[in-house]
Amino acid sequence: SAVISQKPSRDICQRGTSLTIQCQVDSQVTMMFWYRQQPGQSLTLIATANQGSEATYESGFVIDKFPISRPNLTFSTLTVSNMSPEDSSIYLCSAHTPENTEAFFGQGTRLTVV
């Protein structure tokens, strides 16, 4: 299994600013992902964070808005850029190891944009 720590756990930000969310895994993992959970809704995959290369974004999400880094096999960051109130969501980091069939999730970052 893998334990995932996310920072910050929550934040309130002014519109037009950017926030970087950190995701640290306690072991090396092959795949890392970022999801968004809008209020009262399900999880939507933003992108796959690729180690050493550009992230792979899902339809509707772009690098300029959600730049992602993954410098090594245990760490990734997601930046929410030029925020608007519509970006208010929970952002979750997820990781997958080849030894397990299931993904593990961080506790999430609750973002409120005012």
Q: For binding to other proteins (CB under 8 A), which residues are involved?
A: 31, 33, 35, 41-45, 48, 92, 94, 96, 101-108
State the minimum distance, in angstroms, from the CB of residue 63 to other proteins.
18
Nearer to other proteins, 6 or 77 (CB): 6
Name the residue among 43, 102, 46, 99 with its Cα closest to residue 76: 46
Distances (CA, A) of 112 to 12, 31, 85: 5, 28, 7
Helix, strand and coil content of the chain, in percent to the nearest 5, comes to 5, 50, 45
Nearer to other proteins, 41 or 82 (CB): 41
The residue among 50 and 79 lying less far from other proteins, judged by its C-beta, is 50
